[in-house]
């Protein structure tokens, strides 16, 4: 019943993607989600924390079975191998999320080249290490490298214009990310109910599958994505608050406790970001209004102005505090769906619950509406 174009393209059991969230690792989470039959995405942004956030870097390396003293290439190779070995029994499908913004291009090239080389040296891995998911940048320069290596290529966009560029670049599956999403959000607040069907309609003539992201967290919202024409849904915040999630306990508990109207938007590392509402994030939002008002006006900045840099430095220190468990200084990101999350299940049970709810809703439609 749920065998959509996303499932057929990637070989996953259920039309769900676990988002590749950072800056903490999600090495253990990816294994759990892949084993549960959805696409597990490894976060790679932790590799950028070596100098400024050494504790997070250590956690990123060690949860992947590596040492922080290893080279970045070695760390990734060990992460890939650990994920591959721990998903063998289930046949789980996994991939990597790589930020490809201009300032991160050298790092992105290193990560993608390492993934290509690892698959080339271990052909068996290519049967399940299937996906490179790019984000936070222009897809156009990356297609030949990714697709010629045999990966399925996914890219996330906040607009129809972005989707059209993905189609031109040859992206296999487009993820349309509405403004409800956690952490990195778009400069213009277009939400999933508008964005997702618009992108689906724009891509229909080209036969490119579209996945919804932003606000999706259970069977009800997965059904909504399918009804809007999507081939599935990506879920980040929901998977963050699970037993297997590698994220700091304070961050996970912040999602569960968020409650009604529990998020806000303020400056993040690469632009607007959605945070769980706390006294610290409220102050950060106030400072954003003063020092980087483009976040609220839809006017991008390059992050190099004095005000933006000050806010980014504050964010980095606050995320360190989250990792350390210091709630008085902590910031933690989360999507609007956090207000609908009030538990922390294991991944296997969560996926089963989402799938059961989705199937029951679909089965019930004839009785309810026909």
175-185 tens-digit pLDDT: 999 999 998 89
Predicted pLDDT at 136:
85
Strand, helix or coil for residue 68: coil
Over residues 148-174, the mean pLDDT reads: 96
Is residue 310 over pLDDT 80?
Answer: yes
Predicted pLDDT at 2:
86
Tokens of 22: 């950072």
- 168 Cβ contact partners less than 8 Å away, ≥ 6 residues apart: 140
Edge-to-edge strand order for the sheet containing 271-276?
A: 183-184, 271-276, 263-268
Place of tokens 């290529």: 153
Is residue 370 over pLDDT 80?
Answer: no
Predicted pLDDT at 1:
67
Over residues 240-245, the mean pLDDT reads: 97
Rounded Cα gap, residues 185 and 326, in angstroms: 25
Over residues 11-23, the mean pLDDT reads: 94
Q: 248 with 24: CB under 8 angstroms?
A: yes
Mean pLDDT rounded to a whole number for the chain: 94
Beta-carbon count within 10 A of 232 CB: 30
280, exposed or middle or buried, with CB in 10 Å at 0-12, 13-18, 19+? buried
The pTM of the full predicted model, rounded to 2 decimals, is 0.95
268-299 tens-digit pLDDT: 988 899 999 999 999 999 999 999 999 999 88
Is residue 254 over pLDDT 80?
Answer: yes
The domains of the chain, with CATH numbers, are 5-248+341-369 (3.20.20.70), 259-333 (no CATH)
186, exposed or middle or buried, with CB in 10 Å at 0-12, 13-18, 19+? buried
% residues pLDDT > 90 (the chain): 84
Q: 245 with 29: CB under 8 angstroms?
A: yes
Q: 84 with 119: CB under 8 angstroms?
A: no
- For the ranges 31-35, 53-57, 170-174, 228-232, the lowest mean pLDDT is seen at 53-57
- For the ranges 38-42, 72-76, 363-367, the lowest mean pLDDT is seen at 363-367
- Alpha-carbon distance values, 297 to 153, 224, 272, 339 (Å): 32, 29, 11, 25
137, exposed or middle or buried, with CB in 10 Å at 0-12, 13-18, 19+? buried
322-364 tens-digit pLDDT: 989 999 999 999 999 999 999 999 999 999 999 999 999 999 9
84-122 tens-digit pLDDT: 999 999 999 999 999 988 888 899 999 999 999 999 999
Rounded Cα gap, residues 298 and 190, in angstroms: 11
User: What DSSP string runs through 112-168?
Assistant: HHHHHHHHHH-GGGGGTEEEEEEESS-SGGGHHHHHHTT-EEEEEESSHHHHHHHHH
Is residue 13 over pLDDT 90?
Answer: yes
Is residue 302 over pLDDT 80?
Answer: no
Place of tokens 């769906």: 337
Predicted pLDDT at 208:
97
Q: Give the CA count within 13 Å in the CB-facing half-sphere of 11.
A: 16
């Amino acid at each position: 019943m749920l065998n959509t174009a996303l499932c057929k393209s990637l070989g996953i059991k259920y039309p769900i993607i676990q988002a590749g969230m950072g800056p903490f690792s999600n090495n253990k989470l990816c294994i759990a989600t892949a084993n549960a039959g959805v696409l597990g995405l490894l976060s790679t942004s932790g590799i950028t924390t070596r100098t400024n956030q050494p504790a997070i870097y250590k956690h990123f390396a060690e949860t992947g079975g590596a040492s922080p003293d290893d080279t970045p290439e070695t760390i990734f190779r060990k992460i890939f191998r650990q994920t591959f070995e721990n998903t063998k029994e289930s046949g789980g499908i996994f991939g990597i999320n790589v930020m490809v913004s201009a300032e991160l291009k050298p790092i992105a090239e290193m990560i993608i080249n390492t993934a290509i080389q690892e698959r080339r040296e271990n052909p068996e891995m290519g049967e399940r290490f299937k996906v490179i998911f790019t984000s936070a940048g222009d897809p156009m320069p990356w297609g030949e490298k990714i697709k010629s290596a045999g990966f399925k290529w996914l890219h996330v966009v906040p607009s129809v214009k972005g989707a059209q560029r993905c189609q031109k670049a040859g992206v296999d599956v487009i993820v349309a990310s509405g403004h409800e999403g956690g952490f990195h959000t778009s400069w213009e607040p277009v939400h999933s109910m508008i964005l997702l069907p618009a992108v689906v309609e724009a891509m229909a003539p080209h036969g490119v599958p579209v996945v919804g992201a932003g606000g999706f967290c259970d069977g009800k919202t997965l059904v909504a994505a399918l009804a809007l024409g999507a081939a599935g849904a990506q879920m980040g915040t929901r998977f963050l608050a699970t037993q297997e999630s590698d994220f700091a306990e304070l961050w996970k508990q912040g999602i569960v406790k968020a409650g009604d109207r529990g998020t806000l938007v303020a400056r993040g590392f690469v632009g607007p970001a959605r945070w769980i509402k706390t006294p610290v994030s409220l102050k950060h939002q106030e400072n954003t209004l003063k020092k980087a008002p483009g976040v609220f006006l839809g006017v991008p900045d390059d992050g190099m102005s004095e005000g933006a840099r000050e806010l980014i430095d504050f964010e980095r220190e606050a995320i360190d505090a989250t990792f350390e468990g210091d709630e008085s200084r902590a910031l933690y990101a989360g999507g609007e769906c956090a207000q609908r999350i009030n538990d922390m299940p294991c991944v296997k049970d969560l996926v089963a619950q989402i799938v059961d709810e989705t199937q029951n809703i679909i089965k019930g439609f004839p009785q309810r509406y026909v």
